Amino acid sequence: MMENRVSAGVTNALTIDVEDYFQVSALAPHFPRAKWDDVPCRVEANVDRILGLLHEYGTKATFFTLGWIAERYPKLVRLIIMEGHELASHGYGHERASAQTADAFRADVSLAKAVLEDISGVEIRGYRAPSFSIGATNLWAHDVLRETGHVYSSSVYPIAHDHYGMPDSPRFPYYLSNGLLEIPVTTVRCLGRNWPAAGGGYFRLLPYPVSRWSLQRVNQRDHRSAIFYFHPWEIDPAQPKVAAADARTRFRHYVNLDHMESRLRRLLGDFEWDRADRVFLPKA
């Protein structure tokens, strides 16, 4: 399979944001956080499917996992480690960094790190903010992450978006003055602006060749590794539908869920992938 890949020699980072469908920020009005324990979870079965898919393709990945999920599904966390993947933090309760004070953010990331480390027995070095919610107004979050023992973050998206984004930030990994490595979500530069090239909803909503072209351009023209992400609920077309959600949210959340797994198979076959820590952190 290696000889058929479009960017042989460049390894990209494959990441999964481990949260359930009812924890998505856009659906928050319909699933109050206090009621989460009353909603049947589907994340365990979906992560198990993803682990099987990665095993089939001989691929390792990074799982940015909510502390809330880890507490309720410790076997899921241990299985991620047993399969040789990187475990990283997605915070505890999927609260946006931009909606928290520095003290609240510190408490959230500290709790998540402690929970994940206690269950897994491994050091948690990476963090990704829910909804890529580190931006120009809360860059102090990088200092909090370093203070709480994190080595890298993948929380800045250098695009203009209605919910997040910092389009003028660097497109590729950079070190902060405090020593923290920020790994921005991958974009492709075209027509004078940054365009999303890292997965998520865009991977489902746009034709697969658009994602393939974008990643290939980053690998071959920029000569850089990309970081790609998706969620376990995106491979689950049978998840309950929230009819009361507005039309935009329903479109973004439900379109092409039934095609997601086949697209992931093409992605795994077309490019080389590994864990974020092995792609971007200095070799020991």
Q: Do residues 156 and 132 touch, judged by C-beta distance below 8 A?
A: yes
DSSP single-letter state for residue 23: G
Distances (CA, A) of 190 to 158, 174, 193, 245, 251: 13, 21, 6, 33, 26
The average pLDDT across 212-224 equals 95
Tens of pLDDT, residues 62-95: 999 999 999 999 999 999 999 999 999 999 999 9
Determine whether 42 is exposed, middle or buried from the number of CB atoms within 10 Å of its CB (0-12, 13-18, 19+). Answer: middle
When pLDDT is cut at 50, 70 and 90, the band that residue 2 belongs to is very low
pLDDT (0 to 100) of residue 148: 98
Tens of pLDDT, residues 175-197: 999 999 999 999 999 888 889 99
CATH for 12-280 is 3.20.20.370
pLDDT (0 to 100) of residue 284: 61
Give pTM, 2 decimals.
0.95
Residues 6+ apart with CB under 8 A from 263: 203, 204, 208, 211, 256
Q: Among candidates 160, 181, 163, which has minimal Cα distance to 172?
A: 181
| 152, pLDDT greater than 70 | yes
| 164, pLDDT greater than 60 | yes
Determine whether 34 is exposed, middle or buried from the number of CB atoms within 10 Å of its CB (0-12, 13-18, 19+). Answer: exposed
What residues does each domain of the chain span?
12-280
| 1, pLDDT greater than 60 | no
The DSSP secondary structure of 88-129, one letter per residue, reads EE--SS---GGGS-HHHHHHHHHHHHHHHHHHH-S---EE--
| 162, pLDDT greater than 80 | no
Q: Among candidates 200, 147, 156, 198, which has minimal Cα distance to 174?
A: 156
Distances (CA, A) of 195 to 13, 76, 149, 272: 18, 34, 32, 22
DSSP single-letter state for residue 63: E
- For residues 90-121, one letter each, b for 16 or more C-beta atoms within 10 angstroms of the residue's C-beta and e for the rest, the string is bbbebbbbbebeeeebbebbbbbbebbbebbe
| 249, pLDDT greater than 50 | yes
Alpha carbons 181 and 73: distance in angstroms, whole number:
29
What is the percentage of the chain residues whose pLDDT exceeds 70?
Answer: 96
